[in-house]
Structure 1
Amino acid sequence: MHSPTTLTREFGFRIAVPRPQKNAAVHSGVSWRRRYLLMLRLTDGLLIAATMVASTIWLDAASQEPTTRTLLGHPAAAVFVAVVWFGMTSLMRTRDPRLIGFGAGEYKRVVDASAVTFGLVAVCYVFLDSPGPRGFFFLTWPAGLILLLAGRWAWRNWLNYQSRFGHYLSKVIVMGNRQDVRYVVAQIARKSGAAYDVVGVALEGKVKFPALQVGKNAVPVVGNLDSIQDAVAASGADAVIVAGQLHRGNGYIQRLSWELEKTSTELVVASALTNVAGPRIRVRPVEGLPLMHVELPSFTGGRHVIKRCLDVLGSLSALIILAPVIAILVVAVKLDSRGPGFFVQDRVGKGGQTFRMYKLRSMVDSAEDELAQLQHLNEGNSVLFKLRDDPRVTRVGRWIRKYSLDELPQLYNVLRGDMSLVGPRPPLHDEVSKYETHTHRRLFIKPGCTGLWQINGRSDLDWEESVRLDLYYVENWSVLGDLIIMWRTVKVMLNPVGAY
């Protein structure tokens, strides 16, 4: 089973790999999911009801004309809207068990359900030719949405806390060849959060050892492909994850799914495509033939216009608010060591275009000249130079690096349009010259002040993981995802990980 090693999810909160408990079976599996979904329904219903009651009282108090009570100022109409709102949260599957506990999908569906509800309300205003109170749209909708999102956030925090003790997790067995199984188990440990507890693995061929070493954890080998049903029954697993392609082909997977149906055990297939194109994968049956479509990524269009608007508003607001802080830090840098307060360096941006990136100087002024003398101490790889105790870093520089304050001037690059608030890490020309063919896809969009690389360990990441995260972001980014990354960046700045 797992050792209590602290890990980080891709979209969510810090978690710990669960330690098995004596009563873990009571709080894991399908039964806990039913209880948890029931609590989500009750919470959503209570928050929506509270919002509508408060809005009705406020509208009654603020209304001076009887006509404003013809639709939503009336308690009966408020009840109707509350029922529709709650119904939309169910109809749009905001409590889908595959989404709860991790990722941005749960929050996005709550936002979509709320938007559809109030779109329908607006149509009712027009259809009934009712003037209606504007306050209902400008107060009730945002207030209710914030409450719903806060409720989901609170339950997710509770769920992550429970996962530390091995509670409220779906038990899974991962099956396949050794290499694919090791990769999938490692990714589940790092990214799944309050979702899966790998209770064992089943490997192709003969079982020659009792456990599979995955990082620092030894995961029990519970059998092979011939004994998977017995392993599921013995472990009480809720799902079986097929890691990669099996030598036995699709016929074996189909027969396995029929066998697992008898025990209500889910079958999950981990496709290699999900590393890059997960959100763009759609399965469309054609005459009984399930075809997996990978939709084309979009690098232009309306979403990018919205992203640019957020960049301008966000960077301008941040620069105005943080100008005194930046000024104080510049003075501290100059007093600590000789040289300018700012460090300017050429970086590669969207489409391979060069731009000048601004940072607070965190190293001695001769840092770039001294780099060649330190190459033999490189703790990174052939592409990136990393040195945990770099002698070129100044006293003030070490502190501002720890809390990522040296990157605040990049807000100016965002305002100019060289960078975005969220995006891939801005590379040096030397790094780009060593890119493999597919790695150049990082340059399809603007680099960012923060991104998945920063909230998942920064310098602690190896090169392959850094590239994987950047490519995933480039092809699958969303406005909601950007907001979540920015929120998590604030948390990482307060509790730095991998910053040196």
Structure 2
Amino acid sequence: MSNQVGSPRRRPTLWSGRRTQGLYRAGEESPPPVAGWEPRYRRSVIVSDVLSILTAVCLVGSLVGAWTGMAGAKVVVLGAVTAGVVLCSLAMNRAWNLVVLGQGAEEFRRLGRGLFLADVGLGLAGLAFSISTMRPWVFLVVPAMALLAFPARYGLRKLLHRARIEGRCLLPVLAAGSPSTVTDLITRTRKNPHIGWRVDAVCTADGRGNRAGELDGVPVVGELDKLADHVRRGGYRIVAITGDPYWTPKRLQQLAWTLEGSGAEMVVAPPLMEVAGPRLHMTGVFGMPLLRVSAPTFTGGRRVVKDIFDRVSSALLLLFLAPLLLIVSLAIAVDSRGPVFYRQRRVGKDGQEFTIIKFRTMVRNADQLLAGLTEQNEGSGLLFKMRRDPRITRVGGLLRRYSIDELPQLFNVLGGSMSLVGPRPPLPEETARYGPDVRRRLLVKPGVTGLWQVSGRSDLSWDEAVRLDLRYVEDWSLALDAVILWKTFRAVLSGQGAY
């Protein structure tokens, strides 16, 4: 079969005019197929971090020096030491590894860990050498670095994601497995282009696809036993191995050996598709590579940190948002008759019921009118949703669009019945019809926001909303919470999926 069939489609890139390595003649060794934009994007991230660190040192460090009366030379020395320690810590924590840049929470987790360990190191050094002037650098300068570095990283990521959605800065992928699992992978990559994968070719056990020799529009270039040859000739960046009886441990090991030196990254999709993040651990036992799946963490130190963060943050937000809450309350009272707040029984952690508090967005007798609208339900599963619900008031429509009606739930967070981030708080009648798998949503506190909020809100199907909630329960981490909170602001401002 001609090599041209499986060649990566060439597209302009964002950070470089150099293209991904393409086809090579049979028998030739291809150089590592690293896309030209990858090292340039990594350099952009490094420059962004360095600028954030230097800006914090220059601006906040100067203020610290003026506030403490520190000599200019000492400010320069402490600033240089602080910047050097932070940069070394980021490098040691692999915060600039290409594998984590541009996707997932791991990039921000490594950045945060690097800054935190540098801060701890500086603090211990100050105590060990009795440097009292180190305290402002630990408590002011390094946190200022974080306030600059995280938004800068996020801005670069958004530029990269936008380029990928436009068809640029994508990594050519050769998928190998059964037609069903490969088709599922193709669907996922097209649905989530921001991940950066573009399946350009497929290998199957028999080397066949449909009548046109394709799978979901992607050409089938050969059989699984010839996979390594196609990788070397095609210059693919990623080799994605999906489920197929052909793949035995011996064949996967042999393929890994054969691909050494090709520069292609071999990725094997485990059968546990919905388990990821901190729960997966690769270990070796008796010379066998084993994928360990640890139990979800519902207690412990991280949960205590989350609870403290929830309560402190909700208290501060309520104080900061007090004027807005007052204005909204007055607008609701003027717009329609009825109470300002809407109270409803919901189900929380471990199935315990609590009263959720929201701004009223519907007419006073909205619950009695629901029976006459059931035939117009646009929601799926156990949820009732209407894009143009006649029960919603004029002010209520605006509050719902920007999720302002959810703000009183901060009182629930302050009281401990809810969290800032978590699954959607269900109604008692919903939970009464839950199956055993869906009931796992109740293992953690429900949240004011969550994966469902930043992934489409009311536009999501019931099955998709459940899948996202279960994924959060299974793979929760502090870094994931931080990413969800950050994305919530964008989702709220856009108003997408809110009605």
Shared fold (TM-score, shorter chain, > 0.5): yes
CA distance in 1, matches of 2:342, 2:262: 62
| Offset, 1:458 | 0.9
| Offset, 1:208 | 1.7
* 2:210 matched residue in structure 1: 208
* 1:405 matched residue in structure 2: 404
User: Which of 14, 18, 21 is the equivalent residue of 1:26?
Assistant: 18
Aligned partner letter, 2:262: T
Q: Percent identity?
A: 37
Instruction: Give the stretch that moved more between structures: 462-471 or 138-147.
Output: 138-147
CA distance in 1, matches of 2:60, 2:365: 62
User: Which of 12, 15, 39 is the equivalent residue of 2:44?
Assistant: 39
* 1:269 matched residue in structure 2: 268
Q: Is the 8 A contact 1:159 1:194 kept in 2?
A: no
* 1:162 matched residue in structure 2: 163
| Offset, 1:448 | 0.7
Q: Is the 8 A contact 1:27 1:167 kept in 2?
A: no
Aligned pairs for 1:92-241 (under 5 A) are 92-191=93-192, 193=194, 195-205=196-206, 206-210=208-212, 211-213=214-216, 218-229=217-228, 231-233=230-232, 235-241=234-240
Q: Is the 8 A contact 1:88 1:113 kept in 2?
A: yes
CA distance in 2, matches of 1:319, 1:84: 37
CA distance in 1, matches of 2:363, 2:79: 64
1:488 counterpart = 2:493: no
CA distance in 2, matches of 1:342, 1:45: 48
Aligned partner letter, 1:90: A
Is the alpha carbon distance of 1:230 and 1:338 closer, same or farther for their aligned partners in structure 2, counting shifts above 3 Å?
A: farther
* 2:292 matched residue in structure 1: 293
* 1:385 matched residue in structure 2: 384
CA distance in 2, matches of 1:265, 1:144: 35
Aligned partner letter, 2:210: K
| Offset, 1:289 | 0.9
Q: Is the 8 A contact 1:172 1:198 kept in 2?
A: yes
1:456 counterpart = 2:455: yes
* 1:91 matched residue in structure 2: 92
Is the alpha carbon distance of 1:331 and 1:143 closer, same or farther for their aligned partners in structure 2, counting shifts above 3 Å?
A: closer
1:82 counterpart = 2:83: yes
Q: Is the 8 A contact 2:454 2:487 kept in 1?
A: yes
CA distance in 1, matches of 2:333, 2:476: 38
CA distance in 2, matches of 1:79, 1:391: 63
Is the alpha carbon distance of 1:354 and 1:287 closer, same or farther for their aligned partners in structure 2, counting shifts above 3 Å?
A: same
| Offset, 1:108 | 1.7
Is the alpha carbon distance of 1:445 and 1:65 closer, same or farther for their aligned partners in structure 2, counting shifts above 3 Å?
A: closer
| Offset, 1:452 | 0.6
Aligned pairs for 1:4-83 (under 5 A) are 22-23=11-12, 26-28=18-20, 29-49=34-54, 51-52=56-57, 61=66, 64=69, 73=74, 75=76, 78-83=79-84
| Offset, 1:268 | 0.4
Q: Is the 8 A contact 2:341 2:357 kept in 1?
A: yes
CA distance in 2, matches of 1:57, 1:391: 58
CA distance in 2, matches of 1:295, 1:150: 32
Is the alpha carbon distance of 1:341 and 1:144 closer, same or farther for their aligned partners in structure 2, counting shifts above 3 Å?
A: closer
| Offset, 1:466 | 1.1
CA distance in 1, matches of 2:331, 2:62: 54
Q: Is the 8 A contact 1:242 1:270 kept in 2?
A: yes
Structure 2: tracts of 5 or more residues without a match: 1-7, 21-33
Q: Is the 8 A contact 1:346 1:355 kept in 2?
A: yes
* 2:29 matched residue in structure 1: none
* 1:443 matched residue in structure 2: 442
Aligned partner letter, 1:144: M
| Offset, 1:223 | 4.3
CA distance in 1, matches of 2:335, 2:66: 60
| Offset, 1:356 | 1.3
Is the alpha carbon distance of 1:416 and 1:179 closer, same or farther for their aligned partners in structure 2, counting shifts above 3 Å?
A: same
Q: Is the 8 A contact 1:240 1:266 kept in 2?
A: yes
Measured against aligned partners, the alpha-carbon deviations of 1:230-282 in whole angstroms (never above 9, x if no partner) come to: 54356532001122354443333223323322422111012232413432100
| Offset, 1:112 | 1.3
Aligned partner letter, 1:397: G
Is the alpha carbon distance of 1:370 and 1:175 closer, same or farther for their aligned partners in structure 2, counting shifts above 3 Å?
A: farther
Aligned residue for 2:236, secondary structure, equals: coil
* 1:260 matched residue in structure 2: 259
Q: Is the 8 A contact 1:207 1:223 kept in 2?
A: no
Is the alpha carbon distance of 1:23 and 1:78 closer, same or farther for their aligned partners in structure 2, counting shifts above 3 Å?
A: closer
1:467 counterpart = 2:472: no
| Offset, 1:479 | 2.7
Q: TM-score, normalised by structure 1?
A: 0.85
CA distance in 2, matches of 1:52, 1:333: 47
Measured against aligned partners, the alpha-carbon deviations of 1:178-237 in whole angstroms (never above 9, x if no partner) come to: 332333333334446253223234344432244444xxxx44444442453454356532
Instruction: Give the stretch that moved more between structures: 430-439 or 221-230.
Output: 221-230
Q: How many residues align?
A: 474
| Offset, 1:64 | 5.0
| Offset, 1:57 | 5.4
Aligned partner letter, 1:269: V
